[in-house]
């Protein structure tokens, strides 16, 4: 098919499972849109998609270099190794503790 795009199997349904506080998941998700500074802090906020649903996430400061070096940007596919979901202002935010970038 040509265009150089690599097809990736996202973990469909992972966003819903994460929002129900399911434990032990290691979903493959995609960053949608460019990560942005979270309210003038050094933390980055971004949208994660499982291909069906999306959820806002905040990257922990120890992983900020992934954004600064361009390794975490719009379209990046990641495997989430650990996360915490908090109910804030009637919406769910995922604070990603660790993530593994996909091999592409």
Q: Are 37 and 67 in contact (CB under 8 A)?
A: no
Average of per-residue pLDDT values in the chain: 78
CATH topology for 14-101 is: OB fold (Dihydrolipoamide Acetyltransferase, E2P) (2.40.50)
H-run or E-run covering 32: strand 28-37
Q: Rounded mean pLDDT of 47-68?
A: 88
Query: What's the whole-model pTM score?
Result: 0.76
Q: What is the pLDDT of residue 100?
A: 45
Is the pLDDT at 88 greater than 60? The verdict is: no
Average pLDDT over residues 21-30: 88
Domain locations along the chain = 14-101
Are the C-beta atoms of residues 51 and 44 closer than 8 Å to each other?
no
Mean pLDDT over 30-45 rounds to 79
What confidence tier does 90 reach under pLDDT thresholds 50, 70, 90?
very low
């Amino acid at each position: 098919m040509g265009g150089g795009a690599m097809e990736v199997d996202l973990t469909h349904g992972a966003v819903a499972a994460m929002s129900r506080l399911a434990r032990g998941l290691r979903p493959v998700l995609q960053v949608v849109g460019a990560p942005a500074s979270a309210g003038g802090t050094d933390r980055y906020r971004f949208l994660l998609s499982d291909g069906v649903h999306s959820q806002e996430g905040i990257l922990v400061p120890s992983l900020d270099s992934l954004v600064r070096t361009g390794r975490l940007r719009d379209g990046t596919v990641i495997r989430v190794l650990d996360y915490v979901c908090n109910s804030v202002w009637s919406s769910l935010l995922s604070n990603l503790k660790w993530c593994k970038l996909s091999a592409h």
